[in-house]
Amino acid sequence: MPELHRPRGTRDFLPRDMERRRWLEERLRGATQRFGFGEVATPAFESTELFTLRSGQGIIEDMYNFKDKGGRDVALRPELTAPTMRLYVEGLLGAPKPLKLSYFGNCFRYEQPQKGRFREFWQFGAEILGARRALGEIEILALAHECLAVSGLRDFVFRIGHVGVLRKLMADHGVPPEKQPPLWPLVDKRDFDGLRAALAEIGADAGRIIALLESRGGREVLDRVPGTGLEEVLDGLSRLGIRDYVIEPGIARGLDYYTGMVFEIEVPGLGAEKQVCGGGTYALSELFGAEPVTSTGFALGFDRMLVALEAQGMDFPVRKLDFYIVPMGPGTRDEALRVLSALRKAGRSADIDLLDRNLSKALKYAASANASGCVILGENELKEGVLTVRDMKTGEQRKTTLDELLKA
């Protein structure tokens, strides 16, 4: 027989893992629902061109792409923003604006697996299409902040920048717009030695540019590069009670793609994989053949959030079983099944011993299943028309009827 293992960079999720994942998923979904977002879902695979149009041919090296049986170039989705924009162009162009869309799904990238980075991973995200730019940016920043807050994650750093700050900074200090694009990768990687050399070749004021790129702080940072529109966004956040952010002009998230505000949320304790969320205002609909629409969104690294929560010792809730039923002998099995059915129909979670264990072993199993109560049904209970209910926390037992148990 072959020895089979799960593919490298993927994971199996045991019941306890899934409890934690569903808990976080529900918290995040609750946040988007309170903010008025509607959830969408897209296929796990799409045309390869959908992703190369956005990110260029270089992304193919990081994708699971192949030809299907019809000879079409398809790929497992490496992210969810492009599929959501494709969905918008195909099915929602005529919908009333603004559109507030959220999503959650698995994505695939052929990368080197490491802590917090997997070849199959999950993204939770949101997009606002067609809002006035500053108002859409305020709303998407507020939602991202809410998602981190409701998760219980502590000590995250909310970093906000603006593409306009970078472009204006370069232009004000000697770098014309046509010479700026080759510099963006150096800014993104924070390769200031390489940036200094490139700026020297252009004859720009490298000292002032790099000094601002290295700066971070409150909104006073914007006093050095006014007029980008980010001031209105920060005013809106302040009115919403959000002030725990850092302004960083040096944030560069794919400057050919983003057109306005950009932001990142980091958890420093995660080390190299510290970024758990990123997004901003972008232009993408035109690439897919639609009219321009103001678009602002974010993608949240669901797996990294869980890693961060576990690292900080998050006390995840444990699923409880209301009742575990123990029929003591074959003559009580039919009545035990009737009790089981009645409890489930009443909305209680209930399970029953399926191995005909003795009472001691059945109680041990009930404890491992996190049962709150154990319903014991023996010949004496059957004759008396009662049930013995054991409190699994205190060990106390009482006799009651099924009707009383259902009302409790």
**Cα atoms found within 13 Å of the Cα of residue 88, Cβ hemisphere only:** 33
Distance CA 10, CA 122 (A): 11
pLDDT at 284: 84
**Which residues of the chain does CATH 3.30.930.10 include?**
15-311
Q: Which fold has domain 15-311?
A: BirA Bifunctional Protein; domain 2 (3.30.930)
Q: Convert the pLDDT of each residue in 320-339 to its tens digit.
A: 999 999 999 889 999 999 99
Distance CA 278, CA 362 (A): 49
Q: Which fold has domain 321-407?
A: Rossmann fold (3.40.50)
Bridge partner list, 75: 46, 65
Distance CA 120, CA 232 (A): 38
**Which residues of the chain does CATH 3.40.50.800 include?**
321-407
The pair of three-digit structure tokens given for residue 240, joined into one six-digit string: 């919403």
pLDDT at 253: 63
Does the pLDDT of residue 163 top 70, yes or no? yes
Q: Convert the pLDDT of each residue in 295-315 to its tens digit.
A: 999 999 999 999 999 999 999
Higher pLDDT, 1 or 38: 38
Q: Convert the pLDDT of each residue in 378-407 to its tens digit.
A: 999 999 999 999 999 999 999 999 999 998
Secondary structure E strands in 224-339: 245-247, 258-266, 275-282, 295-301, 321-327
Confidence of residue 285 (pLDDT cuts 50, 70, 90): confident
Confidence of residue 96 (pLDDT cuts 50, 70, 90): very high
pLDDT at 127: 98
